[in-house]
A and B are shown apart, each in its own frame.
Chain A
């Protein structure tokens, strides 16, 4: 196996980044998706459009503007500096923020569709049986929306593993901190170390395939007509 210690470090970093981003997205996007699914506010359209923006923006554009916004002269950077956190570019935290922004629509949209497809009826029935709102959410909504959660989780994880443009702009390629697999593969190709690039890329494809396959088995059976 031609993977160096640097390659393994990049793989570990990528998996940590993807896992943390997915966890954060599922926590943040559940209330957002719920609101989008049920609200009748006139802000629904604009907010849904903003959520979908990372789908159409080129990742390097997103990464560049995050670099500017999170830098010492930008609004986000001024905020983090005033909180004593320094600036986010070139840190793992900065990558997490960038990844959350980049994968946001991939988490919100499946959840929103799952919540919408529930309809109001199961919740009304549960309410007539005396279940409070939190109880309704945990015992009715979550199990029924499980396919949506699984899809949102898979997509966010996979999308973050494959992230390149945003990391390239924000990361600074620091080994062990911001040098993720996609940047490592790119560096191997640029330096004409094709054998190492093939091993790393092949390994990631194989890993992703196995994970996706395993998650398919986890999906609840769909009712046959």
Chain B
């Protein structure tokens, strides 16, 4: 059996060692900054790709939270710790700017969304969208127009086609575009209005059948980004927003079916 070291000396040296370790942690070399981003549900896939490239080039870390723009507005209004908001519309960032919760002049359109009428079944949706007039489907999936810009665009498209009243009883509404896509992808709704970015893979629509709604059928789905108050003066956040406008980022955004 080893003789125990004198208790006081052991305790003193252990405390000294821990203290040194603690100070060493505080004295760490300047780390790259971490940016906290709230991103609209429909844009999460391209954003992950853009962020991967940004992190490699700049050395900064980015954490993404994906969700509904309306929810982000409520959270940001109540102090959520985001630096940057990538919304699904242009009204929410504008509202945040007007209410003084975002940095004035930092707002810009990072993408223009494209609407598509999609079905998981190949051959169900024709290239002209005539299925809306002739089809016998029980359910049409649409994002809630009150909450989601893609839902509002879908409603405008149906009104322009003159089929809105006839089809309204068959709507099933998703809370956001991601849920709308789930309804169609699981086959519960034979067809629905989703974001082109959700069904586009490597530049083409990989599954099912679709009608790409012409841009003049609805108000443009402008998706704006803005620097929030918590991100003011945050070098990495500003760098990320600048990177979003770069040609590299735009190439990625374009490949997911967005316009500018």
Contact = CB atoms under 8 A, between A and B. Distances in A.
Co-assembled chains A and B: yes
Contacts of B182: 64, 67, 169
B91 to A, nearest CB: 11
Nearest to B169: A174
Interface stretch (B27-35, B55-63, B111-119, B170-178): B170-178
Interface in B94-113: none
Interface in A178-210: 186-187, 189-192
Given A168-B175, A190-B175, A71 B188 contact: yes
Given A187-B147, A190-B70, A173 B186 contact: no
A173 B139 CA distance: 12
A142 B138 CA distance: 45
Contacts, number: 62
Contact of A173 (B68, B138, B144): B144
Contacts of B14: none
B172 A73 contact: no
B146 interface: yes
Contact of B173 (A70, A169, A174, A189): A174
A176 to B, nearest CB: 10
Nearest to A191: B146
Interface in A43-74: 64, 67-68, 70-73
B74 interface: yes
A87 to B, nearest CB: 6
B147 A87 contact: no
A67 B175 contact: no
A63 B187 CA distance: 15
A86 interface: yes
Interface string B156-188: 000000000000000111110001001100111
A70 B172 CA distance: 16
Given A64-B182, A173-B172, A190 B188 contact: no
Contacts of B147: 187, 190-191
Given A67-B186, A89-B183, A173-B172, 20 more contacts: A67-B182, A67-B183, A72-B188, A87-B188, A90-B172, A169-B182, A172-B141, A172-B183, A172-B189, A173-B173, A173-B175, A174-B171, A174-B172, A187-B146, A189-B70, A189-B74, A190-B68, A190-B74, A190-B175, A192-B70
5 tightest A-B contacts by CB?
A172-B172, A190-B70, A173-B173, A89-B188, A71-B188
Interface of B: 68, 70-71, 73-74, 138-139, 141, 144, 146-147, 171-175, 179, 182-183, 186-189
27 contacts: A64-B182, A71-B186, A71-B188, A72-B187, A73-B187, A86-B138, A89-B183, A89-B188, A90-B172, A90-B188, A168-B179, A169-B179, A172-B141, A173-B144, A173-B173, A173-B174, A173-B175, A174-B171, A174-B172, A186-B175, A187-B146, A187-B147, A189-B74, A190-B71, A190-B175, A191-B70, A192-B70
